[in-house]
A and B are shown apart, each in its own frame.
Chain A
């Protein structure tokens, strides 16, 4: 039973003899949480918005970059997928209740019997934390005794720490990778959140806090992505910048598409002429010239050897123009190559027009070649 209460942070003490059972049990609980999440989506939008403003970003970054979260996501995804087909909802809830009860009892037993261990482990965790955690104020373990009596497991948080709390009744958690490495044989990650001094330590607020940290971490990433956001502090202003950036990008797309539509009406004609007749005006506009060399090396008429040759010619010609812009590359090599062998072109067009089915695959292959060189 105690091994089943391995959903605790003192996992470093508990040997992973029943690691498989524990893993299965916990993945059961995982799927149930997922199902509950799906059935009753969290409605804490308002609270999480307030949460946006409260947490320091560094902790959020830690949370984001800790291997724990990545493993958590991976493990949750894998376990969910694995058990999705096997368990129905009612069986899940009964199993969860049993597990909760058992873990609660085990947690109680643990607490009463191993009180001496608790401070040791907390001090262990503390020493580990000092290296990594932002704040080093230990949370009170006694303050969360009432949690032990809370069997209604997870409202909306599918993170491991909730189950830990219920099982063990202690919210002293450590945000360390060391714990995860000691959990190695069971390979189930934790998301450890440190309960700060004076903060509420029930499952709701911890879940909220984890959400906030996630959101803040992503906001940091966004800030790095959008230019000029690094110096701005404050969520609303950063969001403002992000909105401006997205709007400007969308406007640019509109404008550029208009420009492309307007710049070369001949493009239309040329493309069609290339596809339908033999005498396309080849070096005229960029578009057909871009397309032509795509088609051109695909000519399987002369066999693979020529294709390799053409490829090779592409490469050779691309070398000197590598330093220039992309758009230059569109024009200069193709034109020179086109002038090099125009007879093959006309043959190519006829061939390709007849064998449409083969065309697209060849074209894609050639596009890959071309793009590899240019981009």
Chain B
């Protein structure tokens, strides 16, 4: 499942170029946002199909390519900070044996971890339906694919910028 970087890149570039040409072929006049959407869509589907259906996130991404733009979600961490404060108060007031303290800290940690897995599930496409083991594996795969995508897009963007410079 963990493909080497270069083969993934090749697959992605192949499919992305095909997709891009198809959509540029079809519609000559697009606003910039539409174009950006088309580019992103084609890139995402190319990325997902480059995995050839081996991973869960790729199938979810192909079936539902329109994902909301990720906004920063710091709400969970602030909620957890409140929980930690509350538990500290409890700890001070209550008579704590060693076991109780361990329990409280463990429950706090549980809560934090749970919040974060929730966030991660919302980030990964199709993540809401996975258990933790799957989620972590999918995250691994998703991160490598995203990296490949970013690399290729960045090189393409800089190359096109460089190409347009001497002719301007």
Contact = CB atoms under 8 A, between A and B. Distances in A.
B1 to A, nearest CB: 11
Interface residues of B, number: 65
Interface in A249-266: 249-254, 256-264, 266
A214 interface: yes
B113 A235 contact: yes
A261 to B, nearest CB: 4
A249 B146 contact: yes
A268 B24 contact: yes
A331 B154 CA distance: 15
Given A222-B140, A225-B144, A254-B69, A243 B39 contact: no
Given A45-B132, A261-B36, A368-B10, A236 B109 contact: yes
A318 to B, nearest CB: 15
Contacts of A258: 32, 36
Contacts of B30: 268
A77 interface: no
Contact of A218 (B112, B124, B136): B136
B146 A253 contact: yes
Given A246-B120, A249-B147, A222 B154 contact: no
Contacts of B140: 218, 221-222, 225
Contact of B40 (A50, A243, A254, A372): A254
Interface stretch (A78-86, A116-124, A129-137, A286-294): A286-294
A231 to B, nearest CB: 18
Interface in A27-60: 41-42, 45-46, 48-50, 52-53
A371 B132 contact: no
B133 A214 contact: yes
10 contacts: A219-B136, A235-B109, A236-B116, A246-B139, A257-B153, A264-B163, A268-B30, A287-B160, A328-B159, A368-B10
Interface of B: 6, 9-10, 13-14, 17-18, 21, 24-25, 28, 30, 32-33, 35-36, 38-40, 43-44, 69-70, 72, 77, 80, 106, 109-110, 112-114, 116-117, 119-120, 123-124, 131-133, 136-137, 139-140, 142-144, 146-147, 149-150, 153-164, 167
